[in-house]
């Protein structure tokens, strides 16, 4: 295990691309390419796209004919990753690409791939926590991630990428931190269900609050990117944001298409960790219960 307090003291500029998504796959790809070019010109060094950037959010349908969804899938490497590899090398940037992966084992995954500044693909992360709720029927489409949590040692920072529903699980953020992440990115597709009034409270507020809490208790920067627009019965709220290692919002998007840019100071991670002791005062010997399933003795 790495020394989680051993960090490079430097700044890095993050770019989050928050867009609407149409039924036209070619148009979605072209829009994303243009947005990446624009973010790079604004100085972004690590650019993150939203979950399933290439397609509309089809898992809101409980059942869809397989041939209607496999057209959205691509292999890794694939058409769009090859394009983004060239863009990353051209601009000397890191690009985080969430997509619908068709794997060699004939399974389909909600995945992300990272391209480094030399245009080379790094390891694939496959979404580990898969929801199965009304309008979010992902277990009907995606296999459970089987590659574990990934840390990407990019040119600018050590980063982790977790996908949407992963953001509700503190265990995932803690594991990524202990493995050396400076920044955790959360590409997302989440919104309100049209006509539904939640008795729980404000979903968007809870979504932001839980991610800020991951930043605080782990002493890492967090960058969450969400889509916008109406798709079927979902209204995606956008609200992409970047916060520092104590949960302070550094930049936040609204509810329309936007490229969110913020410079982050990674040396602040160490300050929070040293000052609050959340990592050094852990008691792993008392945490064995966490590995049990509900109801298991």
**Dihedrals φ, ψ of 283, to 5°?**
-125, 70
Torsion of CA 172, 175, 179, 184, to 10 degrees: 30
Integer Cα distance of 253 and 274 in angstroms: 31
Which of 171, 116, 107, 173 lies closest to 142 in space, CA to CA?
Answer: 107
d(C-alpha 116, C-alpha 99), whole Å: 17
Residues identified as active-site: 51, 127, 164
Pairing of strands 183-188, 249-252: unpaired
Which phi-psi region, left, alpha or beta, contains residue 237 (left: φ > 0; alpha: ψ -120 to 50)?
alpha
**Closest-CA residue to 264 (of 279, 275, 249):** 249
Do residues 260 and 252 touch, judged by C-beta distance below 8 A? Answer: yes
What strands lie across the sheet with 234-237, from one edge to the other? 191-193, 234-237, 228-231
């Amino acid at each position: 295990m790495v020394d989680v307090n051993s960090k490079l003291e430097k700044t890095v500029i993050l770019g989050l691309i928050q867009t609407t998504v149409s039924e036209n796959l070619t148009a979605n790809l072209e829009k994303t390419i243009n947005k990446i070019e624009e973010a790079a010109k604004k100085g972004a060094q690590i650019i993150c796209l939203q979950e399933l950037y290439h397609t509309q959010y089809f898992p809101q349908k409980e059942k869809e004919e397989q041939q209607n969804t496999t057209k959205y899938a691509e292999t890794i490497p694939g058409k769009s990753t090859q394009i983004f590899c060239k863009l990353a090398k051209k601009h000397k940037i890191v690009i985080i690409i969430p997509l619908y992966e068709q794997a060699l084992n004939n399974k389909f995954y909600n995945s992300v791939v990272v391209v480094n500044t030399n245009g080379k693909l790094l390891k694939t992360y496959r979404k580990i926590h898969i929801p199965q709720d009304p309008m979010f029927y992902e277990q009907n489409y995606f296999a459970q991630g089987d590659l574990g949590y990934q840390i990407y040692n990019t040119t600018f920072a050590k980063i982790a990428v977790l996908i949407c529903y992963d953001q509700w699980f503190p265990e995932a953020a803690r594991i990524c931190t202990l493995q050396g992440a400076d920044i955790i990115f959360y590409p997302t597709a989440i919104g309100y269900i049209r006509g539904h009034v939640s008795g729980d409270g404000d979903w968007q507020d809870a979504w932001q609050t839980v991610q800020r809490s991951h930043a605080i208790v782990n002493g890492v920067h967090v960058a969450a990117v969400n889509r916008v627009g109406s798709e079927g019965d979902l209204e995606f709220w956008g609200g992409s944001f970047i916060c520092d290692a104590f949960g302070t919002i550094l930049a936040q998007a609204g509810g329309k298409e936007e490229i969110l840019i913020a410079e982050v100071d990674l040396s602040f991670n160490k300050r929070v960790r040293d000052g609050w002791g959340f990592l050094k005062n852990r008691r792993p010997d008392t945490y064995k219960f966490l590995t049990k399933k509900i109801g298991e003795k």
